[in-house]
Amino acid sequence: MKIIEIEGSKKLNGTIRISGAKNATVALIPAAILTDEEATICNIPEITDTEALCDILRLLNVKVNRSTESVVINPQEMINTEITEPFSKKLRASYYFMGALLGKYKKAVMYFPGGCSIGARPIDLHLKGFEALGATVKSENNKYIVEAEELKGANIYLDIASVGATINIMLAAVRAKGVTTIDNAAKEPEIVNVATFLNNMGAKITGAGTSTIKIVGVDHLHKCFHEVIPDRIEAGTYIIIGALCGTPLKIDNVIPEHLDSLLSKLEEMGINLEIGADYVTVLDSTTKLKATNIKTAVYPGFPTDLQQPFTVLLTQAHGKSKVTETIWENRFMHIPYLKDLGADIEVKNQTATVLGPKELKGCEVVATDLRAGAAMVAAGLIAEGKTTIANAEHILRGYEQIVEKLSSVGAKIKIKEI
Ligand code: EPZ
């Protein structure tokens, strides 16, 4: 097991550069098999989720040439084989191979995906989408066989604006016959990045980033070069850390418009920000923070993936704040550990009430999932004394070089294997 140790109460100063977006990358890598030639994707983050997907590519006999920040994927000798459970279970995004393999071969055989335990995380909307395109779905003991004689464009309405279902249906529909329309599609920037990638390969997708996406099927996808957008969740996490202990802290290589909901909440709390074209600087973390309420929502609402780190900030705000989680049923697992660190938080149903400000004192905590882990890091940085975070592997799934990045701005943080 990996643990992260932090000696807290240090002020952070300098610049942190943001890596490519995890949740775009994890869809782009499976999407790359849809070409018959070669795809080059740059600004790929070095995180364990990326490696797990490259392992699946190798299982499918796809050539993967990985260098710093980029990957060249060549599926010319690819074999459509079953994706076994040890591969699918390593991460949630393995499910994008379902749509991509179905789109390319009209058949996908794989096991249920893994990922953070933040809720039931069904994939019914993905499967309904595949069925609407003409596929049949058989499942037994966690294994899914999805196949079609022919995929035909269809009008698909998503009951929930699901990120995963929107992307997976796009992947399956891109080489289908005719026109597919996805209504109530998710609008996250990662979806736009994936649609741009597919269009660069010759796909005909319009409307990505709005709630109606139209896909005109094409027969063939060609070679392309593509760049992953900056990770808005990594950026948001470090901006929150800047608000907790930056003097000042600049977060570079960001698209500030992707973070509007977070930035306006921070300004409402009294935090001084300088927002540039591709950076955000937290000017001062010593201002008296005002309490506020947040409610997570689909993009452009407040992102659920920043709810856990943001809760740490609220422990330092004056008064009563409320955090309502509407996307995942089980995303308050960081709260008991924040209480161990000294926070005053009560959870009732899907709402956490935070009373602040409270001084945090370092202790032993656990990263129960990726963003809960990020919350523990943020808390450890302001806690007095030493905080030890167990199960740090969860954090490395989504934050490239987190220890190095924080050390470079003055944090006393290290990672070790025990
Ligand atoms: C993506 O998960 C992200 N993961 C999540 O990031 C993120 O929290 C989530 O979108 C919401 O923004 C990846 O991109 C790999 P959804 P996804 O389908 O696609 C329900 C992180 O920390 N639903 O938009 O799995 C579902 O249960 C992570 O980086 C169904 O009911 O999320 C949830 O309540 C974790 N049936 C809601 O929809 C379905 O078939 C939204 O899920 C699909 C989803």
Q: So where are the chain's domains? A: 2-19+230-417, 22-227
**Identical fold at 2-19+230-417 and 22-227?**
yes
Looking at the domain 2-19+230-417, which fold is it? UDP-n-acetylglucosamine1-carboxyvinyl-transferase; Chain (3.65.10)
Query: What confidence score (pLDDT) does residue 68 get?
Result: 85
Query: What confidence score (pLDDT) does residue 121 get?
Result: 87
Region 1-5: mean pLDDT is 97
CA distance 114 to 90: 6
Percent of the chain past pLDDT 70, that is, above it, reads: 100
Ligand 1 and 375: CB distance under 6 A: no
Region 242-263: mean pLDDT is 97
Region 56-83: mean pLDDT is 96
Query: What confidence score (pLDDT) does residue 190 get?
Result: 98
CA distance 26 to 108: 18
Q: 280: Cβ–Cβ under 8 A, 6 or more apart, which residues?
A: 235, 239, 250, 251, 254, 256, 259, 263, 273, 274
pLDDT in tens, 363-372: 999 999 999 9
Dist. CA 167 → ligand 1 center (Å): 11
The band of 287, judged by pLDDT with boundaries at 50, 70 and 90, is confident
Helices (H), ranges, 135-259: 163-173, 189-200, 232-245
The band of 397, judged by pLDDT with boundaries at 50, 70 and 90, is very high
Query: What confidence score (pLDDT) does residue 120 get?
Result: 80
Ligand 1 and 78: CB distance under 6 A: no
Region 58-82: mean pLDDT is 95
Dist. CA 218 → ligand 1 center (Å): 28
Q: 129: Cβ–Cβ under 8 A, 6 or more apart, which residues?
A: 156, 158, 165, 168, 169, 172, 182
CA angle 217, 220, 222 (to 5 degrees): 125
pLDDT in tens, 402-416: 999 999 999 999 999
Work out which ligand 1 atom sits closest to the CA atom of 125: 40
Work out which ligand 1 atom sits closest to the CA atom of 124: 40
Residue 393, CA distances (Å) to 90, 255, 308, 366 in order: 12, 27, 17, 11
The band of 115, judged by pLDDT with boundaries at 50, 70 and 90, is confident
Give catalytic status of residue 224 as yes or no. Answer: no
CA distance 242 to 415: 21
DSSP at 207: -
Ligand 1 and 23: CB distance under 6 A: yes
- For the chain, the farthest-separated pair of C-alpha atoms sits apart, in whole angstroms, at 63
Whether the predicted pLDDT of 265 surpasses 90: yes
Percent of the chain past pLDDT 90, that is, above it, reads: 95
| C-alpha torsion sign, points 134, 139, 142, 143 | negative
Work out which ligand 1 atom sits closest to the CA atom of 329: 34
CATH superfamily of 22-227: Enolpyruvate transferase domain (3.65.10.10)
Ligand 1 and 119: CB distance under 6 A: yes
Question: Which of 121, 137, 168, 396 is the pocket-test mutation for ligand 1 (most atoms within 8 Å of CB)?
Answer: 121
Query: What confidence score (pLDDT) does residue 381 get?
Result: 98
Residue 157, CA distances (Å) to 1, 54, 248, 400, 405 in order: 43, 32, 46, 36, 42
Q: 153: Cβ–Cβ under 8 A, 6 or more apart, which residues?
A: 133, 173, 176, 177, 178, 179, 180, 215, 216, 217
The band of 69, judged by pLDDT with boundaries at 50, 70 and 90, is confident
pLDDT in tens, 319-354: 999 999 999 999 999 999 999 999 999 999 999 999
β-bridge partners, 275: 280
Q: What integer best gives the mean pLDDT of the chain? A: 97
Question: How far does the chain reach from its first CA to its final CA, in angstroms?
Answer: 6
Whether the predicted pLDDT of 276 surpasses 90: yes
The band of 119, judged by pLDDT with boundaries at 50, 70 and 90, is confident
